[in-house]
A and B are shown apart, each in its own frame.
Chain A
Amino acid sequence: MQGVILPERQANNRKVNGMINKYKLDKILMKVEKPSRYIGMEQNMVQKNPEQLDVRFAFSFPDVYEVGMSHLGMHILYNLINNEPQYSCERVFAPWVDMEEQIRKESIPLFTLESKEEVKNFDLLGFTLQYEMSYTNILNILDLAEIPLLSKDRDEDFPLVIAGGPCAYNPEPLWEFIDLFVIGEGEEVTLELMRVYNKHKRQGYNKAKFLEEVQKTMQGIYVPSLYDVNYNEDGTINERFSLIENIPQIIEKRMIRDLDSMFSPEKMIVPYMETVHDRISMELFRGCTHGCRFCQAGMIYRPIREKSVDRLMELAEKLVDSTGYENISLSSLSSCDYSQLHLLISSLMDKFEDKKVGVSLPSLRLDSVSIDILKEIEKVRKSGLTFAPEAGSQRLRDVVNKGVDENDLVNAVGYAFKEGWSRIKLYFMIGLPTETDEDVLGIKDLAYLVKDLFFNRPPEERKGNFQVTASASCFVPKPFTPFQWQGQDTIENFHHKINLVKKEIRDNKVSFNYHDPRVSFMEAIVARGDRRISKLILRAWEKGSRFDGWSEHFKYEIWLEAMEELEIDGSFYANRNREFTENLPWDFINPGPSKKYLISEYTKAIKGETTRDCRLGCTGCGIEDCAMWGVFN
Chain B
Amino acid sequence: MILRTKYTKVGYLKYLSHLDMVRLFTRTFSKVGIPIKFSDGYNPHPKFSIGNPLPLGTESLAEYMDVELTEWIEPADFAKRINEALPEGIKITSCWETEKGASLTSMIAWSHYEIRFRTKNTDQASEFEDSLDRWDKLSEVFITKKKKKGKIKVDRQVDIIPLIGNIIYKGIDEDGFHIVNAFLRTGETGNLKPIELVGAIDRELQLDIDLDMVLIKRLDVLADENGEIKELA
Residues of chain A whose beta carbon lies under 8 Å from any beta carbon of chain B: 23, 26-27, 29-31, 34-36, 39-43, 270, 272-274, 324-326, 356
Are B213 and A272 closer than 8 Å at their CB atoms? no
Contact of B20 among A31, A272, A325 (CB under 8 A): A272
Q: Which of B21-29, B95-103, B130-138 contacts A (4 or more CB under 8 A)?
A: B21-29
Contact of B87 among A30, A43, A273 (CB under 8 A): A43
Q: In this complex, what residue of A is CB-closest to B89?
A: A41
Report the separation of the CA atoms of residues A324 and B81 in the bound assembly, to the nearest whole angstrom. 14
Query: Interface residues of A: mostly helix, strand, loop or mixed?
Result: loop
Are A27 and B212 closer than 8 Å at their CB atoms? yes
Min C-beta distance of A52 to chain B, whole Å: 20
Contact of A274 among B12, B23, B213 (CB under 8 A): B23
Are A35 and B57 closer than 8 Å at their CB atoms? yes
Report the separation of the CA atoms of residues A606 and B106 in the bound assembly, to the nearest whole angstrom. 72
Are B30 and A41 closer than 8 Å at their CB atoms? no
Report the separation of the CA atoms of residues A411 and B175 in the bound assembly, to the nearest whole angstrom. 70
Residues of chain B whose beta carbon lies under 8 Å from any beta carbon of chain A: 11-13, 15-17, 19-20, 23-24, 27-28, 30-31, 56-57, 85, 87-89, 175, 212-213, 215
Min C-beta distance of A284 to chain B, whole Å: 25
Q: In this complex, what residue of B is CB-closest to A113?
A: B12
Min C-beta distance of B164 to chain A, whole Å: 23
Are B27 and A39 closer than 8 Å at their CB atoms? no
Contact of B30 among A30, A39, A326 (CB under 8 A): A326
Query: Interface residues of B: mostly helix, strand, loop or mixed?
Result: helix
Question: Given A26-B213, A26-B215, A324-B28, A272 and B16 touching (CB < 8 A)?
Answer: yes
Question: Given A274-B23, A326-B30, A356-B30, A40 and B212 touching (CB < 8 A)?
Answer: no
A sample of 6 inter-chain contacts (CB < 8 A) reads A36-B16, A40-B12, A41-B13, A273-B17, A324-B28, A324-B31
Question: Given A35-B15, A35-B57, A41-B12, A324 and B27 touching (CB < 8 A)?
Answer: yes
Cβ contacts under 8 Å, A35 to chain B: 15, 56-57
Cβ contacts under 8 Å, B11 to chain A: 41
Min C-beta distance of B112 to chain A, whole Å: 21
Min C-beta distance of B139 to chain A, whole Å: 33
Cβ contacts under 8 Å, B24 to chain A: 272
Report the separation of the CA atoms of residues A325 and B30 in the bound assembly, to the nearest whole angstrom. 9
Report the separation of the CA atoms of residues A273 and B18 in the bound assembly, to the nearest whole angstrom. 10
Report the separation of the CA atoms of residues A40 and B11 in the bound assembly, to the nearest whole angstrom. 12
Q: In this complex, what residue of B is CB-closest to A40?
A: B12
Are B27 and A23 closer than 8 Å at their CB atoms? no
Report the separation of the CA atoms of residues A36 and B21 in the bound assembly, to the nearest whole angstrom. 11
Q: In this complex, what residue of A is CB-closest to B88?
A: A41
Question: Given A41-B88, A43-B87, A324 and B12 touching (CB < 8 A)?
Answer: no
Report the separation of the CA atoms of residues A98 and B57 in the bound assembly, to the nearest whole angstrom. 16
Contact of B15 among A23, A36, A325 (CB under 8 A): A36
15 additional A-B residue pairs with CB within 8 Å, beyond A23-B213, A39-B12, A41-B88: A27-B213, A30-B57, A41-B11, A42-B87, A43-B87, A270-B27, A272-B16, A272-B23, A272-B24, A273-B20, A274-B23, A324-B28, A324-B85, A325-B27, A356-B30
